[in-house]
Amino acid sequence: MTATLSFRLYLLLLLSLTCPTMAPNNKYSILLPTYNEVENLPIIIWLLVKHMNSSGHPYEIIIIDDGSPDGTLEAAEQLQRIYGKEKIVLRPREKKLGLGTAYIHGVKHATGNFVIIMDADLSHHPKFIKEMIEKQKSNDYDVVTGTRYVGTGGVYGWDFRRKLISRGANLLTQILLRPAVSDLTGSFRLYKKDVLESLTNSCISKGYVFQMEMIIRARQKNYTIGEVPISFVDRVYGESKLGGSEIVQFVRGLVYLFATT
């Protein structure tokens, strides 16, 4: 019993030593859309570089700035000079064209076979990327999504009202759409590049309803989805928003997905 096991391990070792091509050379392209994130950008880049370097995975960070008036792009250029053009790729656009198209734009320039999308406002911590990559590998998932609602996942800086809206909206979505994914509106995710491309092409929603549509369409297309608990720390710099118009947007998005998927 133990003999056959160690023999197998030995074979595996031999294999991995003799044919290094067995281990696929994965590269991770991190898409960072920014709009007025001049304070947050240097910090998030510093954290990304720190955690990605220590994880040892090849990566690039693609910054998609939409003509932020606060000088985000100049900060990005400085960071590119510090960390190099290999690691920091700038793909700015003239004006604010929205998150959904920012991803489409960014993915066109991605050279990795995996793409990670995250917010630049420090609500998504780069330390979770390593866990997402491991999760992806564990089952060859097409998508891995961060979740605030399960296990060690959670939030910081939310009052009762915000939690109530978030939990209520989530339960309503769970009942109506039965997505088998716990966090639908989160935007911290890892995709196989071709999967992300095919999804962005079939999603038409705007704002964070876009994230919800992406994951629902992923289910519809039978892509496999893994989840990693994340702690979500509400933006430190800049104003956070959850007003009436966000709620109206959400309800419209939910009705749209209810009727079309």
Partner 1 sequence: MTKLLEWLGGAGALGAIWLALLTNKIENPFFRDHYTFLLLSPIIVVGLFGLASLLLVLYRVYTFNDCNDAAAELQKEIVEAKQDLKSLGFKFKDSFK
Q: Find the residue with minimal CB distance to Mg ion.
A: 121
> Which range in 52-60, 115-123, 157-165, 253-261 contacts Mg ion by CB under 5 A?
115-123
* CB half-sphere exposure, 215, CA atoms < 13 A: 30
Separation of alpha carbons 107 and 226, rounded Å: 21
- Rule CB under 8 A: choose which of 26, 27, 43, 101 binds partner 1: 43
**Residue 176, interface with partner 1 (CB under 8 A)?**
yes
Closest approach, Cβ 255 to ligand GTP, in A, equals: 20
Query: Nearest Cα to 48, choosing from 125, 161, 108, 150?
Result: 125
Separation of alpha carbons 182 and 251, rounded Å: 18
Query: Nearest Cα to 146, choosing from 204, 207, 233, 222?
Result: 233
Separation of alpha carbons 259 and 245, rounded Å: 21
Query: Which residue, 76 or 141, is less far from ligand GTP as judged by CB?
Result: 76
Query: Nearest Cα to 62, choosing from 46, 72, 76?
Result: 76
Contacted entry of ligand GTP, Mg ion, partner 1, none for residue 46, CB cut-off 5 to 8 Å set by kind = partner 1
- Cα–Cα distances (Å) from 64 to 156, 187, 216, in that order, read 26, 15, 25
- Rule CB under 5 A: choose which of 66, 119, 183, 227 binds Mg ion: 119
Say which DSSP state 237 is in: S
Q: Which residues would be at the binding site for ligand GTP (CB under 6 A)?
A: 33-35, 37, 64-66, 96-99, 102, 119-121, 123, 208, 235, 240-241
Phi, psi of 62 (to 5 degrees): -105, 115
One-letter amino acid at 126 equals P
Residues 210-233 as b/e (b if ≥16 CB within 10 A, e otherwise) read bbbbbbbbbbeeebebbbbbbbbe
- Rule CB under 5 A: choose which of 121, 142, 183, 227 binds Mg ion: 121
Residues 145-174 interacting with partner 1 (rule: CB under 8 A): 149, 152-158, 160, 163-164, 167-168, 171
Closest approach, Cβ 53 to Mg ion, in A, equals: 25
Query: Which residue, 66 or 121, is less far from Mg ion as judged by CB?
Result: 121
Closest approach, Cβ 150 to partner 1, in A, equals: 10
**Residue 79, interface with partner 1 (CB under 8 A)?**
yes
- Rule CB under 8 A: choose which of 26, 27, 46, 223 binds partner 1: 46
Binding site residues, partner 1, CB under 8 A:
38-39, 42-43, 46-47, 70-71, 75, 78-79, 81-82, 122, 125, 149, 152-158, 160, 163-164, 167-168, 171, 175-178, 231-233, 236, 257-261
